[in-house]
Amino acid sequence: MSDTAHAVSGYCGTSMASPVVSGAVAVWAERYIQEFAVNPSPALVKAVFTAAAQDLVGNANADGQTMGHRPDRFQGYGRLDLDLVMNHGLEVFLYDQQTVFTEAGQNWGINVSPVDPDQPMRIMLAWTDAPGHGNGGTTPAWVNNLDLSVSAQNLNYFGNNVGSDGWSASGGLPDERNNLEGVFLSPAQHGGDSVDIMVVATDLAGDALNPWNPGDPSQDFALACYNCLIGDPTFALGTSAPAAEACIPDDDVNEIQRLVNVSAIGPFTDLISLGTSALPAGVDSSIEPEQVNAPAQVSWTLGISNTALPGEYLVELVGSGADISRALPFNLTLFGALDNAPTLQHPAAGATDLVLRPVFAWEPLAGVSGYRIQIAEQSDFSTTLVDAELTEAGFRPDNELEKDGVYYWRVAGANLCGDGDWSPVRSFTTRLDPASSLSDETLSFTLVPNAGAAQGLGLTNTGTGNLTFQVFTDEPGAGRDTHDADLDEDLAVDAFNLPGNGTHETSAFAGNTSRGKVVGFSFDGTVSGISGNATWASDLVLTLTSPDGISYTVGGYETGHPPWDFNGSGSNNNGRYTSTHIGDDIFGESGAEDLGEWQIRFDHSWTNAMNWSSVTITLHKRPPPFCRDDTTPATWLSASPPSGSVAEGQTAIIDVQVDGTGLSAGDYLAYLCMATNDPDAELIAVPIELKVDPLAEPVIDANPVSLALSVLPDNQGTAFLEIGNLGGATLDWSLSAAEPDAEYGRLVSRDELVPLALPRGSSRAGSQPASSGHFEPLIQGAGTLAPIAGNWSEGFDDIATLPDSGWVLNNRSQPVGPVGWFQGNQDTFDAHAGAADSYIAANFLSTIEDGAGTISNWLISPEITLVNGTEIRFWTRTVDDSIGFEDRLQVRLSDSGSSTDVGDSASSVGDFDELLLDINPTYSSTGYPREWTEYVLEVQGLPEATTGRIAFRYFVENAGGQGDNGDYIGIDTFSITQPDLVGCQSPTTLPWLDFDPSSGQTAPGNISQVTVTLDADGLAEGIYEGLLCLESNDPATPLIEIPVLMNVAGDDVFADRFEQ
């Protein structure tokens, strides 16, 4: 125990062992992959770790008994030893599934020597067996049997035969049960001499390489051998630091020193001579001593003079002994003093409206090891906000800058010789404030008692910066009697000319900056054209009409309307006039609704023209009895999430839920209140109306619940189905027929595909074709093939065939760029599956290269059948070295049949208004996967089976060659999987079953009758079964399946005429 707050204790079991083993395997596997560029097989992992495990002989097992030598059921092959696996200090021979046995009796063998004759040799064979029978019981479950044998000093050792001293015992029999066999030889057993290792396929009964679709027997294996050398003894050169960087001096010499280890591999005893090759000009080398016997350590010194040239060099320390030569590569990087400053790319000089975490980029500078960037609020950088050292030619600050701030930035290169010159200083201005916009002004719900419902409310940020919000609820309270000046809202009116007896009409929207009941208004405007007593400013007549239809008229000469404050001869001069009107006589005691479009009409009640400008009508409001001061939460109303942040141009969906549990029948009103950082709408109130009505829903009643008739051949039988409505609303119903076990059909056939040439792009890091001029929206593919009804997939092996397969490629970016969707570029990254370029891709040049724009590049699937449960799968990724150019992808659904309408702009979605998935809507640096990742979506909420299309929308704002977002994405292995539908889930036509009418409406308390006809015309004798599918708007029972049976029976019973 380390202190009173922490404790350490031991436990037994796989729950403790599994994470330790998993972590150890991950550490070793990472090193293995770095060295061999391939993943180790599970069998090799098992062999490597079990061969190095430590024998636990003498320790207590889980039952408290003393353990013997490994292997046994208590310790397996012993305790994991990651240190020995990673730092064994000896040659380890690994052989990983390179041989496949296909019949019994085959074998594989190799001769190895101990590297160190004083150390043991640990040899482990492992293989992944074919699946066993899985039935349990006493029947053996192993399938294929391999055997390990090792010959040393004229003795033979079989796997898993361990003697009383813990080392392998010679003789005995091979292990016929385990798929892990080890031989452990002490130094005395191998004697420093070579040994023969043999793997024999004793019995092959199953296909281990293809267990899901087994064929002929086959089995591979892995083998690990510690302290094992293949071939003759030799030597090796090594150093702990095989690379160095240095600055070329102005004078004198810079020296780099390394200690080099000379080690023997096997019994190597020859004298080794050391030297250097590939020295660059201006660099010399010295080695002390120059000749050694291994093992030994020498000192190697490199001297850099002022005549050396900057660059990267590969120098070799070479050792020669007998007929063997070994080289130690050494990477030497030389730097000279920096003469040039970096060339800044973006933000551009004087850029405005930048995001609060802008991306800074500059052209890479030759001869640098890094860069230094400074960002400040003063052009002299006397105080810096950012002073960072970087290794790449790009930067994005961790923290947001202030809104509407002016900043300065510069960059200098750096290397071992010091910092270079600063670049010219650039300035930029950050963006302004966010602005909120709601998808709905109010939400209404109708429920039966104890039911619940939900609707989505969209909150869009139409301004700049992040829009933050907090949501709470409030039920109405008492109103206030007087208006609140803090709620005043201005309606601006454009300048207008009003001829004598003329009229000018306009409108303006209110309820944007505040909410409340309008109890009055003020007028403020400047007039010209007043001509003494001929025309007065008070001749102007204003009629103001609220969104809920309440009007008030003021002014005019002898019109009978209430007068202006500037009435009569007091308004016979050009200039500014104001007038205020507040009271119950304006819009009534309750006031007028503020939210919506206000109609504004001006009339001239005299003859000469007048011109009005700078006109503002200010609405005066009474504070709403909600969302202010002491609020009362509505127990039946909730919203999720309760708070959040909406990025510029993005929309957050707030899930508004109502719960009618325990509520009596009647009408309810509450408000969804949102506090935001929108300076013009700090508090938004959305009315939520709830009606609890026990008779609000229809209730279906069908009689009978099944139909069965016997019909003579070539005759008809008739029955009647009654559809009743026990509820309080109109029942809408329809009938269809289905087979009892109907299933989806197969994929329709395709005509020969006609390739279509498409340009190919790359990531921002890759080269791009120059582009200029104007590009029209690119639409490829007609998408007119028959709907695909079954399971289906697309691997994008050749996207030129997509248009004739029913796909549609439609680039609606604004402005449209030079590149649409293109075949995957293997230079950027390889495909998830198949050939390296067998995926479809899009990049930032979907919009313009020489500016910024909005990417809205659509990839639309062929028309498919859509039902609840239709599964959509695909893989996607972006580049793994993007510097701040974040990507975004939407998956959208249209249930409008063959429609490919996505609208005419970058912001429109047309018929694809159902958003299934939005990857990285906030442009986070971790929001879009940088390695192939699979997404799985499922269609739900469809009222009935239909057809439609799935669309991938590469949707990136502020993109393009000069934008802050958008780089390169790939999509691969797209598939549609349909559920197995039966019965009424898959309606069809039954030629022997008819019904009339097939649809209708039934009023509350009424019954509709349907005539059902069973037609045996041309049918053979026998039983015919089907279903009548009765669908309705009854929310509790939307579908009733009515079994129908027709027995087509012969008239043999009447043949003797006795019954007649």
- Mind listing the pLDDT tens digit for each residue in 543-592? 999 998 999 999 988 888 999 998 877 788 889 999 999 988 899 887 89
pLDDT band at 477 (very low <50, low <70, confident <90, very high): low
Greater pLDDT, 317 or 771: 317
- The answer on pLDDT for 505 being more than 50 is yes
Distance CA 459, CA 554 (A): 38
pLDDT, one tens digit per residue, over 241-275 is 888 999 999 888 999 999 998 877 767 788 999 99
- The whole-number pLDDT of residue 20 equals 92
pLDDT of residue 443: 93
* Between 466 and 603, residue with greater pLDDT: 603
Structural contact between residues 66 and 60, judged by C-beta atoms closer than 8 angstroms: yes
832 versus 1059: the higher-pLDDT residue is: 832
**Residue carrying structure tokens 């850029």:** 351
Region of residue 480 (left: phi > 0; alpha: psi -120 to 50; beta: else): beta
pLDDT at 762: 59
CA distances from 704 to 567, 718, 719 (A): 80, 14, 10
Q: H or E stretch including 46?
A: helix 42-51
Q: Higher-confidence residue: 210 or 233?
A: 210
Q: Which band of pLDDT confidence, cut at 50, 70 and 90, is reported for residue 783?
A: very low
Residue 602 pLDDT exceeds 90 = yes
Average pLDDT for 472-488? 73
pLDDT reading at 478 higher than 60? no
Determine the Cα–Cα distance for residues 727 and 729; give it in Å rounded to an integer. Answer: 6
pLDDT at 754 over 50: no
pLDDT band at 929 (very low <50, low <70, confident <90, very high): very high
For residue 477, the one-letter residue type is G
Most confident listed range (50-59, 132-141, 509-518, 774-783): 50-59
Given a cut of 80, whether residue 8 has pLDDT beyond it is no
Answer yes or no: is pLDDT of 746 > 60.
no
Is residue 584 helix, strand or coil? helix
- The model's confidence at residue 936, banded by pLDDT at 50, 70 and 90, is very high
Question: Taking a C-beta distance cutoff of 8 angstroms, is the pair 343, 421 a contact?
Answer: no
Residue 736 in contact with residue 1029, Cβ under 8 Å? yes
- Which of 399, 398, 425, 396 lies closest to 412, judged by CA? 425
pLDDT tens digits for range 1002-1052: 988 899 999 999 999 999 999 999 999 999 988 878 899 999 999 998 765
Q: Tokens 């001006």 label which residue?
A: 602
Asked whether the predicted pLDDT for residue 745 surpasses 60, the reply is no
Query: In which band, very low, low, confident or very high, does the pLDDT at 752 lie, cut at 50, 70 and 90?
Result: very low
Three-state DSSP state, 236: strand
What average pLDDT does the chain have? 87
Q: What is the pLDDT of residue 532?
A: 65
Q: Averaged over 127-141, what is the pLDDT?
A: 84
Query: Helix H segments across 596-662?
Result: none
8 Å CB contact between 662 and 692: no
DSSP H or E run through 107: strand 107-112
The answer to whether residue 923 scores a pLDDT higher than 60 is yes
Model pLDDT, residue 533: 66
- Convert the pLDDT of each residue in 171-196 to its tens digit: 888 998 899 999 999 999 998 888 88
Q: Report the run of H or E that residue 28 belongs to, with start and end.
A: helix 14-36
pLDDT mean over 373-396 = 94
Express as a percent the part of the chain with pLDDT over 90: 55
The pLDDT of 751-762, averaged and rounded, is 42
| pLDDT score of 1054 more than 70 | no
For residues 402-426, average pLDDT: 93
Q: What percentage of the chain has pLDDT greater than the value 70?
A: 92
3-state secondary structure of 520: strand
Neighbouring residues of 34: CB distance < 8 A, sequence distance ≥ 6: none
Residue range 64-89, pLDDT digits in tens: 889 999 898 888 999 999 999 999 87
The pLDDT, as a whole number, for residue 1058 is 44
pLDDT at 572: 86
Three-class DSSP labels, 550-606:
CEEEEECCCCCCCCCCCCHHHHCCCEEEEEEEECHHHHCCCCEECCEEEEEEEEECC
pLDDT confidence of residue 1051: 60
Q: Report pLDDT for 1060.
A: 38
Q: Is the predicted pLDDT of residue 131 greater than 70, yes or no?
A: yes
Q: Which residue has the tokens 């503002």?
A: 616
Region 226-234: mean pLDDT is: 82
Q: How far apart are CA 6 and CA 641, in angstroms?
A: 38
The residue among 594, 581, 599 whose CA lies nearest residue 522 is 581
- 1032, burial (CB in 10 Å: exposed 0-12, middle 13-18, buried 19+): buried
**Lowest-confidence range among 227-231, 331-335, 408-412?**
227-231
Higher pLDDT, 20 or 322: 20
The whole-angstrom separation of Cα 10 and Cα 4 is: 18
For 663-682, write each residue's pLDDT tens digit.
Answer: 888 889 999 999 988 877 88
DSSP 8-state secondary structure symbol assigned to residue 76:
B
Residue 884 corresponds to which amino acid?
G
What is the average per-residue pLDDT within 502-526?
A: 89
Which run of H or of E encompasses 27? helix 14-36
Domains and CATH numbers, the chain: 14-226 (2.60.120.380), 235-335 (2.60.40.10), 344-430 (2.60.40.10), 436-440+457-478+627-692 (2.60.40.10), 485-622 (2.60.120.260), 700-742+984-1052 (2.60.40.10), 778-981 (2.60.120.200)
pLDDT at 479 over 50: no
Give the per-residue pLDDT at 571. Answer: 86
